[in-house]
Structures are given as structure tokens and as C-alpha cells.
Amino acid sequence: MEFIVIAAVIVVLAVVLAVLLVPRRRRGQVAPPAPRPGVDYQPGVGDDATAPVEEQRTPLSDVQLPEAEPAEAPVEPVIERPEPAAGRLLRLRSRLARSQSGFGKGLLGLLSRERLDEDTWEEIEDTLLTADLGVTPTQELVDRLRTRARVESIASPDAARTVLREELVALVDPSLDRTLRTERHVEDGRPAVVLVVGVNGTGKTTTIGKLARVLVAEDRDVVLGAADTFRAAAADQLTTWGDRVGVPTVRGPEGGDPASVAFDAVKAGIEQEVDAVIVDTAGRLQTKVGLMDELGKVKRVIEKHGAVDEVLLVIDATTGQNGLVQARVFGEVVDVTGIVLTKLDGTAKGGIVVAVQRELGVPVKLVGLGEGPDDLAPFDPEAFVDGILG
Ligand SMILES: Nc1nc2c(ncn2[C@@H]2O[C@H](COP(=O)(O)OP(=O)(O)OP(=O)(O)O)[C@@H](O)[C@H]2O)c(=O)[nH]1
């Protein structure tokens, strides 16, 4: 019996030992080295640290690659294509009629009165002066009208309109050459250079943007020069105008030398063989001497490339007589070749056209009739007078 108990204890101990020892031996075992891809076997898709090497692997040659995603097409900026500007003043006549109707209709009403007495002539004179026609042109016009009233019957509205129209057109002077020189020079292929000057806020930058559109509509290649380095936003504004019609803008660092930007713009225009380079300038008048020195320098530096073709003076029509003073100051420094009268949609003082032409002896070539991109029109005396008379 004792023997049996001892034998049973031995069996139990043996079982316990077997259970305890077997796992310990396994933990101590050194695992065989993992086969190395590329050394011990051809690497396959799906090889990674955890994948059992025994797993079936796909050879590279059998791998199906996903179809290449079609490359996203670059978003082309939408380049606007404005309508040509010829006859635009006629189309914008309603703008003139709206802003100048007081002036035109008032004159017509007075002139078609049955009796043109001295009081009426005085009223006519006052109306013309209020419209900023200026003293001398007003006197000339009243004298002409008086003469015609004496020799012709102008008492009917139709007759008064015909006479007034003829006399106003003559005063605006259709004989002046209003061509804008924006064509490439035939002799050497150099682009036309247009320098735009004027007091700040008159609408220079806006006018250049609109003018670029006019030229693009006529199939011309244009480069813009942002030489108003005084106001960083002016260069941004100009660049935005240019981008809309695919016209590049040359600009410099804020506060940089305007003459250098203007020079670079013309240089770029020559290299790119464009038709016209339009240069914007700063226009702060509070430092009159500084401003004028700067303008003179810009012009001189540009002229190292060749003569400037147009110097356009931008005048805000709503500033009245002040605009004339500005015209005088600018005229002393640069040879102005044309006037751009902006904001004519916002004033009844259309007489400024005549006054400023007389002041500078140069023609109004363009007029601004609104803030819209195509609200700039080549000036046409007859369409202008028709707009005034409604
Ligand atoms: N109603 C009207 N507004 C205009 C016309 N032309 C320009 N403007 C507005 O006048 C404001 C001034 O125009 P800008 O082009 O910035 O003037 P700027 O002369 O370049 O001014 P600086 O860059 O400060 O020298 C803007 O709000 C234009 O939209 C126009 O013919 N009619």
C-alpha cells in the first residue's frame, strides 16, 4: 500500500514538472532568423514586419497598378474681351443726358423764349458760367447767340436747339486732333509710351485700367507700369485691372524709385514687342515741388528708351475750377498731349471740357462716365453736345 502511495506521488510530481518545464524551455528558445526580402527571397507586395513569410506573395510583375488619376487641369483665368470703344460716347449718351440735363435743358428753355430780353441773356450767361464754361468762352458764346438771334428766328424750340448745338460744337472745337497715339513705332518697332499724370483721386489708375481694355479690344498688346510706388494699393489695383484682360503689370517695391519702375516697364514693353506701355504715376500735390521733380524725372528716365508719345492729364470734372489750377501746374512740368476728364457722370459742369482745353491748349481725348470697366469713351464733340442737350 505504501508503495502505491509513493508511486502515485511520483506520477503527480512528474506531471507537474512536465507542465512547468515545457513552456520555460520554449521561452528560452532562440527563434530562427527571419528570411530577408531581396536576399533570401524575391520581395513581393504585402511584405511587412508582421506578415508571415510563409504567406503567398504576389510577384511585382503580377501587380495591377490602379489607373492613374487624370491630372487636374490648371484653372485658366477668365480673360475678358471688352467691346471696341468706337462710338462709345454715343452709347453712353444717357449718362451725359442724366448728369448735364439741367445745363442743356435750362439753356434750351431760355433760348427758345419768345422774347430774348436782357434778363434772359443774363440768365443764359449765368447758366453757362455755372456749368464751368469759363468767363471768356461764355462771353464768346453769348455774343454768337445774340448775333444769330438777331438775324435768324430762333424762337421755336427746334430752331433754338439747332443753333445752340452748332455753337456749342464749334466751342468744343471739332478741329482738334484727338487721336490717341498708342501704336507701335514703325521705324524701330518700339511701343508707344503713354504717361498718365494727375492729382491723386482723380481716377488715374482706373482710367489706365479702362484704357488697357480699350486697347485690348482693338487687338493691341499692352504692358502696364505701376510707377505710383507711393501707394502700394495703387499697384495692386493696376495689376487687378491688367489681369482681367491678360495684360502684364511691371511693379517695384513700395516706396521704391518710380522712375526705375517706369524705365523697367518700358524696357519690358520693348522686349515683349508690345504695342503700348501705359505708365501710372503718383499724384500727391501737397508736396508740389517733390511731385513735380519726380514727374520730370520719370519722364526723363523713360526717354532714355525714346520719346514719350502721350502724356495724359487726368482731371476730375467734379472739381471744377480746381481742376484748371491742377492743369496749369502739371502743364508747367510735363508737355501734356491730352486730357482725360473723369467723373463727368457725376456733375452738371460739362463746360469744363471747353475751359480746360483753352487753359492748356490741348484737347480732351477721353472722358470717364462711370465706375464700370467700360465707362471710358473717346471724346467726340458732337456726341458730347448731343448728350448735354438731351
Ligand atoms: N463716377 C465715376 N467715378 C470714377 C470715374 N473714374 C474714376 N472713378 C472713381 O474715382 C476713384 C478714384 O480713382 P483712382 O483711379 O483710384 O484714382 P487715382 O487718381 O489713381 O488715385 P491715386 O492712386 O490715389 O493717385 C475710384 O473710386 C474710381 O472708381 C468716372 O469716370 N466716374
Residue numbers of the domain that contains 303? 192-381
Q: Are residues 165 and 196 in the same domain?
A: no
Q: Are residues 214 and 342 in the same domain?
A: yes
- Mean pLDDT value of segment 201-222: 95
Residue 64 predicted with pLDDT over 80: no
Q: Note whether residue 161 is domain-resident.
A: yes
Q: Are residues 219 and 329 in the same domain?
A: yes
Q: Are residues 207 and 328 in the same domain?
A: yes
Q: Are residues 214 and 140 in the same domain?
A: no
Note whether 263 and 319 are within 8 A (CB): no
How large a percentage of the chain has pLDDT more than 70? 82
ipTM of model: 0.95
DSSP for 239-291, written as a single string:
HHHHHHTT--EEE--TT--HHHHHHHHHHHHHHTT-SEEEEEE----TTHHHH
Residue 331 predicted with pLDDT over 70: yes
* pTM, entire model: 0.80
Residue to probe by mutation, ligand 1, list 98, 197, 206, most atoms within 8 Å of CB: 206
Note whether 171 and 278 are within 8 A (CB): no
Q: Are residues 135 and 284 in the same domain?
A: no
Beta-carbon contacts of residue 39 (< 8 Å; ≥ 6 apart):
none
> Judging by DSSP bridges, how do beta strands 364-368 and 338-342 pair with one another?
parallel
Find the CATH number of the domain harbouring 292: 3.40.50.300
Q: How many structural domains comprise the chain?
A: 2
Q: Note whether residue 74 is domain-resident.
A: no
State the pLDDT confidence band at 92, using cuts at 50, 70 and 90: confident
pLDDT digits (tens, 9 = 90+) for 163-196: 999 999 999 999 999 999 999 999 999 999 999 9
Give the per-residue pLDDT at 154: 84
State the pLDDT confidence band at 238, using cuts at 50, 70 and 90: very high
Dist. CA 284 → ligand 1 center (Å): 14
Q: Determine which of 13-22, 162-171, 239-248, 361-370 has the lowest per-residue pLDDT on average.
A: 13-22
Report which protein residue has its CA nearest ligand 1's atom 10: 203
Q: Are residues 134 and 214 in the same domain?
A: no
User: What are the backbone angles phi and psi of residue 302, rounded to the nearest 5°?
Assistant: -60, -35
- Which of 119, 141, 172 terminates a domain? The answer is 172
Q: Note whether residue 326 is domain-resident.
A: yes
Q: Are residues 223 and 305 in the same domain?
A: yes
**DSSP, res 346:** G
Q: Note whether residue 3 is domain-resident.
A: no
Find the CATH number of the domain harbouring 139: 1.20.120
Burial class (CB in 10 A: 0-12, 13-18, 19+), 130: middle
State the pLDDT confidence band at 46, using cuts at 50, 70 and 90: very low
Dist. CA 346 → ligand 1 center (Å): 12
Q: Are residues 145 and 226 in the same domain?
A: no
Q: Are residues 301 and 361 in the same domain?
A: yes
CB-facing half-sphere around the CA of 209: CA atoms within 13 A = 22
Does the annotation list 347 as a binding residue?
no
Q: Determine which of 69-78, 201-210, 365-374 has the lowest per-residue pLDDT on average.
A: 69-78
DSSP for 193-236, written as a single string:
EEEEE--TTSSHHHHHHHHHHHHHHTT--EEEEEE--S-HHHHH
